[in-house]
């Protein structure tokens, strides 16, 4: 099930923003916050559809998200990820 208002359910809602907008090896630590997040997919779709350039979103770094955007430049990531999430259930 897709969660429209996902931010209040995010695992990072208690984290300091500076913990999620880091560089280098610190990004791996930030990605761990996302590991068990119940709305990770929705967060990632938001970042991809809005081409958010900074921070870790949905467990992915800027570089990882840019690679996905290059592979499917015109995709609606919400649709792609919503379908994948539905298929996995």
55 among annotated binding-site residues: no
The annotation status of 37 as a binding-site residue, yes or no, is yes
- Angle of CA points 61, 59, 1, to nearest 5°: 140
User: Given the structure tokens 């090896």, which residue do they identify?
Assistant: 25
- Residues 6 or more apart whose CB falls under 8 angstroms from that of 1 comprise 89
Residues 6+ apart with CB under 8 A from 82: 2, 41, 45
Ligand-binding annotation for 2, yes or no, is no
| Residue 51 marked as a ligand binder | no
Q: Please enumerate, by residue number, every residue annotated as part of a binding site.
A: 12, 34, 37, 43
Residues of each annotated binding site for [4Fe-4S] cluster: 12, 34, 37, 43
């Amino acid at each position: 099930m897709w969660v429209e208002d996902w931010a209040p359910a995010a695992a990072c809602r208690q984290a300091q923003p500076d913990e999620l907008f880091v560089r280098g090896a610190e990004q791996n630590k930030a990605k761990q916050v996302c590991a068990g997040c119940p709305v990770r997919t929705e967060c990632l779709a938001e970042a991809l559809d809005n081409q958010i350039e900074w921070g870790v979103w949905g467990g992915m770094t800027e570089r990882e998200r840019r690679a996905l955007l290059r592979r499917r430049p015109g995709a609606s990531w919400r649709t792609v990820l919503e379908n994948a999430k539905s298929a996995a259930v």
